[in-house]
Amino acid sequence: MEVLELKPVKKNKKVISYMSSKEDSEYFQNEDKSKLEEFLKKKEINFVTVDFEVNMEEFSKTPFAKTLDKLEIPYYQVDIPEYAMGYLYEEISSKQEFLNELFEEFENMDDKESYKGQSLKNWIDMLREEIQDREIFLSLKLRPQWIVKKMLDLARKIDAHTISFVHFVQEDICEDICPQVVQLLRGLNAKVISYNKKHLIQNIIF
């Protein structure tokens, strides 16, 4: 079982991360990967990571994966391990069940404005806020940390002075998680270059 520990790659190694958000997994099915291939060769990419809701067995059959195979560039799906989020999911689910019970009790009350009714409503609001806080912690703090850990663990395995990788992330996921991932990587001495609709570096599109 892995332990969540974030630390920079060795000082004598330079890590460069190129981040690209794509609308959905249909991108991987596009047949023309000439621009992607050109980019990967030019930047001397060592590996690719993906944060998409995809089945990796099916992913391996896509033109995208076949292009990486041809170039002998390994690719990995990065995410928080199930065991790491299990206890949080269990806590959230338990609180949600209790919230549902309280809400049902409140809805069945004849006098919702009574002291008991208002106390119950306050309890419901407090519990709902606790659930939201745990969900935010899971998705916007814990998950980005695990993703960055896996990226840097992969980088450590490469015997080179400069290690470059591309991280492809689903657009709707990126809106929430990318700022945290970028901040963590930069805080661990990695250089990050983003390619997305809002920020095109040198107008390169692949």
Q: Does residue 203 surpass a pLDDT of 80?
A: no
The confidence score (pLDDT) of residue 196 equals 64
* Dist. CA 95–CA 98, nearest whole Å: 5
CA distances from 190 to 6, 15, 145, 152 (A): 12, 5, 14, 9
Contacts of 40 (CB under 8 A, 6+ apart): 67, 68, 71, 73, 166
Q: What is the predicted pLDDT for the residue at 201?
A: 42
Q: How far separated are the first and last CA of the chain, in Å rounded?
A: 36
DSSP letters spanning 29-79: G-S--HHHHHHHHHTT--EEEEESS--HHHHTTSHHHHHHHHTT--EEE--
**In whole angstroms, what is the distance from residue 34 CA to residue 32 CA?**
6
Q: Rounded distance, CA 88 to CA 142, Å?
A: 10
Query: What phi and psi values does residue 67 have, to the nearest 5 degrees?
Result: -65, -45
pLDDT digits (tens, 9 = 90+) for 10-53: 888 899 999 988 877 788 888 778 888 899 999 999 999 999 88
The sign of the CA dihedral 169, 163, 186, 206 is negative
**3-state secondary structure (DSSP) of residue 178:** helix
pLDDT of residue 35: 86
CA 40 to chain centre: 22
| pLDDT value of residue 206 | 52
Kindly indicate the confidence band of residue 73, based on its pLDDT and cuts at 50, 70 and 90. very high
What are 90-142's pLDDT values in tens digits?
Answer: 888 899 999 999 988 888 888 878 888 888 889 999 999 999 888 888 888 89
More confident residue, 187 or 110: 187
Q: How far apart are CA 71 and CA 33, in angstroms?
A: 12
| Contacts made by residues 120-129, CB under 8 angstroms, sequence distance 24+ | 124/99, 127/95, 127/98, 127/99, 127/102, 128/99
pLDDT of 200 over the 80 cut: no
Provide, rounded to the nearest whole percent, the portion of the chain with pLDDT above 70: 94
pLDDT at 197: 54
